[in-house]
Amino acid sequence: MKTLTNKFLKPLSAMLTLGIEMIRNTDYKILTHYMLLINQVSSIQDILNYVGICLHEIFNYRMVGYVIKDSQQVNIWIDPMTSKDAFEQYLINDGFIDNTKKEYIQYIEHEAIVEEDDIRIQYSNILFYEMEHEGTITRLYLLPLKGLMNYHKDIIQTIMKTVAIRLSVMQRMLRLNMIAAIDPLTGCYNRREMDRKMEQSFANAKRHEHELSVIMFDIDHFKKINDTYGHQSGDEVLKSVSKTVLKEIRKGDILARYGGEEFLLLLPETNKRMAIMIAERLRQQIHQMNVNVNGIDINVTASFGVASLTVDMNGQEELIKEADLKLYEAKTNGRNQVMPHVDIDKIFLNVHSEIQSNLNLLNTQFASTVSLALGTGSTLH
């Protein structure tokens, strides 16, 4: 009987081993395919999308979240069907993120990577895998839908290691690009990067017929500041001016140090009237600055030239040239002013008049609608 049992068990065991080996080989082929894809893409969204698809195809596991944490911020990718607040609270309860530093959290936006049933997540069932690489900690959070085989842990470790190395390479490239794009003294963009952004913005504005304006401004009597107070004081003036302007401009506006004491401000979706108002506000803010270096107060003013995109302009050089000409006019007309010169109070009155006209039109339309409804016996909803 024992001999007969062994006769059947041995082939069955061999077939089972062969089947597991075939599944294993298939899983590693899938893994290799997605690891190659991960090393070809250059965005965190694409990397983590491939991770999610890979895990789904190999394990039929659901990737609940992926957290990337360094000394400066926490980036979180979560399943679109998962509550942000619930997952965030789970991380806080777990001690992985600090409840008092939630402002450092950024979410990686994306769409659903695979169509899955909307199941209620039991956080007690979640598994996580952690890896640290060059000061960055990454955590993969999974919801198991079936048991793991022995080699599956090796696959997960391979995924974690590949992602960690890829993110590290991307961060180094990003830092190098930022170093190449940023003026080290003022912290705003340098001329080369501004020229690149100007080219993109100009082409986009022309293509979609959008508004686009630029402001070129120059610190008045900057050479005299250097000669009187020293170049270190001049550097402090440059840093103070850029800091003041960066604080005042809107999200989406782009500031660059374009020359020695010359700055260029790019204003997408902005017409000339609005650009002049922005320039005048910046002029006033700079004029009110008090730069103190070694106990000495230095008064600073700046001159501004404003230009806006017109239909006859064929390149961003023409737009910058127009702003430069207006800056020259501001300098020759006495400095500490904005050109083209307009009556700011008159602009505000015109804006107020436009708003009032629109309100009057709305009131008239509403009154007509009410009158019509009352006359016909209708009910307004």
Which positions are annotated as active-site residues? Answer: 261
Residue 268: in which H helix or E strand, if any? strand 262-268
Question: Rounded to an integer, what is the distance from CA 342 to the centroid of its chain?
Answer: 35
Give the SS3 label for residue 61.
Answer: coil
Helices (H), ranges, 290-343: 316-332
Residue 225 CB neighbour total at 10 angstroms: 23
Nearest to 76 by CA among 100, 54, 102: 102
Query: SS3 for 200-234, per residue?
Result: HHHHHHHHHCCCEEEEEEEECCHHHHHHHHCHHHH
Cα dihedral across residues 87, 92, 98, 103: positive or negative:
positive
- Strands 338-339, 302-308: pairing is parallel
Environment class of 269 (CB within 10 Å of its CB; exposed 0-12, middle 13-18, buried 19+): middle
CA atoms of 159 and 168, how far apart (whole Å) = 14
Residue 188 CB neighbour total at 10 angstroms: 24
Environment class of 206 (CB within 10 Å of its CB; exposed 0-12, middle 13-18, buried 19+): middle
CA atoms of 263 and 300, how far apart (whole Å) = 15
Nearest to 64 by CA among 84, 86, 43, 82: 82
What six digits make up the tokens of 231? 């170049």
My answer on whether omega of the bond before 144 falls inside 30° of 0, hence cis, is no
